[in-house]
Amino acid sequence: MLNWALTFLVIALIAALLGFTSIAGAAMGIAKILFYVFLVLFLVSLVSHLFRGRRAP
């Protein structure tokens, strides 16, 4: 998920350098959304791991 966010960020930066502002804005919006989704999923995974803890064998 983070890989997709970084990919869209790079696309947005390249489009902005070339002057395609509408494409750059759209790609930046998608990158932001994907980053926030990644962040939420990461935090949920981290909290569930902390609550689950290690179990004795």
Please give the pLDDT value at position 57. Answer: 60
For residue 29, the tally of other CB atoms under 10 A from its CB is: 12
Low-confidence ranges of the chain (pLDDT < 70): 1, 54-57
Rounded Cα–Cα distance for residues 47 and 45 (Å): 6
Beta-strand runs (E) in 1-57:
none
pTM exceeds 0.75, yes or no: no
